[in-house]
Amino acid sequence: MSGGARELAGYLAALAGWMAALAAAVLPQWRQSSYAGDAIITAVGLHEGLWMSCAAQSTGQVQCRLHDSLLSLEVHIQTSRALMIISLLLGFFGIIVSVVGMKCTKVGEEDPVTKSRIAVAGGVLFILSGLCTLAAVSLYATQVTYEFFRESTIPINARYEFGSALFVGWGAASLSMLGGSLLCCSWPAKERRGQQYHRQTKPSTAREYV
Instruction: Write the pLDDT tens digit of every residue in 157-200.
Output: 667 888 899 999 999 999 999 999 999 887 765 544 444 444 45
- Segment 88-129, tens digit of pLDDT: 999 999 999 998 888 777 766 677 788 888 889 999 999 999
Domains and CATH numbers, the chain: 3-28+70-193 (1.20.140.150)
* pLDDT of res. 129: 96
pLDDT tens for each residue of 42-83: 567 788 889 988 887 777 778 888 887 777 788 889 999 999
For the chain, the average pLDDT equals 81
φ and ψ at residue 3, rounded to 5 degrees: -60, -45
Q: Which residues are CB-neighbours of 110 under 8 A, at least 6 positions away?
A: none
Q: Is the pLDDT reported for residue 16 higher than 80?
A: yes
Structure-model confidence comparison of residues 143 and 159, the more confident one: 143
How much of the chain, in percent, has pLDDT values that exceed 70? 77
Return the pLDDT at 4: 76
Half-sphere exposure of 120 (CA within 13 A, CB side): 12
Whether the pLDDT of residue 39 is over 50: the answer is no
pTM here is 0.80
DSSP output for 85-104: HHHHHHHHHHHHHHHHH-TT
**pLDDT at 13 > cutoff 90:** yes
Query: Residue 59: in which H helix or E strand, if any?
Result: none
